[in-house]
Amino acid sequence: METDTRMARAASSPAAVRADGTPPIRLVIFDFDGTLSDSGDWFLSVAPELARIFHFRAVREDEIEKLRHSSSRDVIEYLGISRWKLPFIAWYVRWLVGRNVGQIELFPGTPNLLEELAATGVCIALVTSNSEDNARRILGPENAARIEFYACGSSLFGKAPKFRKTLKKLGMAPGEALAIGDETRDVDAAREVGMRAGSVLWGYAAEEVLIATKPDVLFRTPQDILDYVAAHR
């Protein structure tokens, strides 16, 4: 069945190369927190608890904007978080999200974005450090059903293996995929795999630090994503 699905995609897909010499976008891989879900304020509310439990530097309110202008790796270093602690922190955050799903909402444009993107025939996947159960509960059944493949529970800097797994599962080449996130580490992981990288400007990282990572495209609104994908089909 899986082989049949891949063959059907190949048969119905556009030409292997567009007129400008680039492959068409057939797969969009979204990050979740800060990209589809508006979890920033909630995360800041639990940050003091995380700092106390895992013994790293607590973030003062006047430091938040400074950290938004720093890369993901620089933030970890600034807070004094040992790399070996990251998997435990990620697990604890997933557990906290599961207990507080009702406090986290989708960004207003997310439902329409997923609906219109799915209508174009582009495959949609989700790669996140959050759990699949948390993501599905926050998305709701209708939105969750529009996502064809979930690769969840990645480590903070471990998205690249999840990207490769997603490409293999869906039978896509890296050049046919666009990864969309809100942090510098999302761009780094996409580059490692050879995919196009898009950064949204409504999430965690500031525009200046995202520009410095040189993503293929910056998105100021969900409509920008739809327009970009349509222009690269």
The structural domains of the chain, ordered by start, are 2-38+106-231 (3.40.50.1000), 40-103 (no CATH)
Phi-psi region at 30: left, alpha or beta (left = phi > 0; alpha = psi -120 to 50) = beta
**By C-alpha distance, which of 172, 170, 180 is closest to 210?**
180
Task: Look at 62-66, 184-188, 203-207 and tell me which has the smallest mean pLDDT.
Answer: 62-66
Task: Look at 31-40, 75-84, 171-180 and tell me which has the smallest mean pLDDT.
Answer: 75-84
| Predicted local distance difference test score (pLDDT) of residue 12 | 40
204 vs 16 pLDDT, higher one = 204
188 vs 14 pLDDT, higher one = 188
Residue 23's alpha-carbon distances to 19, 175, 232, in angstroms, are 9, 6, 8
| Residue 212 pLDDT > 60 | yes
| Residue 96 pLDDT > 90 | yes
Q: What is the pTM of this model?
A: 0.88
Query: 5 forms bridges with which residues in the sheet?
Result: none
220 vs 11 pLDDT, higher one = 220
What type of residue sits at position 119? A
- Average pLDDT for 78-104: 92
| Predicted local distance difference test score (pLDDT) of residue 152 | 95
Q: Return d(Cα 94, Cα 91) in angstroms, integer.
A: 5
| Residue 15 pLDDT > 50 | no
| Residue 2 pLDDT > 50 | no
Q: Which residues contact 177 (CB under 8 A, 6 or more apart)?
A: 25, 26, 27, 28, 29, 163, 166, 167, 195, 196
